[in-house]
């Protein structure tokens, strides 16, 4: 069954449109975009989504992430960088996180990214007190 997104505003970043927004329909077949164009025809079993007042863009790329800091959000608010580094990455006495907590923390970071349109991440992971 196809999904049609009707009358959305697209930024395709392609040769025809560059970075200029344009209105079009999107046909999704399975997990892939099959066609983009004006007023695409569809069968009676197609799922139709109203795309008016919606912007469709390519997935975003986060070229510098630190999933290891996901659980630190709001913990050391408004500290200068030099003090924040010592609080967030203690040099001595840091208890290593369990493999399960590292997995869950990384999944939380991935979920937050996907919810915000990020589809590619370069993750600069540091696990104090040592990488394993």
72 touches 97 (CB < 8 A) = no
Q: Is the pLDDT of residue 5 over 80?
A: yes
CA distances from residue 97 to 58, 83, 103, 105 in whole angstroms, order as listed = 35, 22, 10, 10
What does the block give as tokens for 126?
Answer: 């540091």
CA distances from residue 79 to 74, 82, 92 in whole angstroms, order as listed = 11, 8, 20
Judge if pTM exceeds 0.85: no
As a whole-number percent, the residues of the chain with pLDDT over 70 amount to 95
**pLDDT at residue 93, rounded to an integer:** 65
Chain-centroid distance, C-alpha 11 = 17
Q: Is the pLDDT of residue 88 over 90?
A: no
Q: Is the pLDDT of residue 16 over 80?
A: yes
Q: Is the pLDDT of residue 119 over 90?
A: yes
What's the chain's average pLDDT? Answer: 91
Q: What is the distance between the alpha carbons of residues 103 and 96, in angstroms, rounded to a whole number?
A: 13
Q: Is the pLDDT of residue 116 over 90?
A: yes
The model's pLDDT over 28-85, given as tens digits with 9 standing for 90+, comes to 999 999 999 999 999 999 999 999 999 999 999 999 999 988 988 888 888 999 888 8
If you ran DSSP here, which 8-state letter would residue 102 be given? H
Bridge pairing between strands 2-10 and 47-50:
parallel
What does the block give as tokens for 33?
Answer: 């975009």
């Amino acid at each position: 069954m196809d999904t049609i997104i009707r009358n959305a505003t697209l930024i395709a970043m392609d040769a025809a449109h560059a970075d200029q927004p344009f209105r079009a329909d999107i046909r999704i077949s399975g997990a892939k975009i099959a066609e983009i164009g004006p007023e695409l025809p569809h069968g009676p079993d197609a799922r139709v989504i109203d795309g008016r007042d919606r912007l469709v863009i390519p997935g975003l790329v986060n070229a510098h992430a630190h999933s290891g800091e996901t659980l630190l959000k709001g913990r050391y608010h408004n500290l200068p960088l030099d003090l924040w580094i010592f609080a967030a990455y203690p040099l001595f006495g840091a208890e290593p996180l369990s493999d399960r907590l590292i997995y869950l923390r990384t999944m939380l970071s991935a979920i937050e990214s996907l919810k915000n349109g990020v589809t590619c991440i370069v993750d600069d992971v540091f696990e104090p007190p040592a990488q394993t």
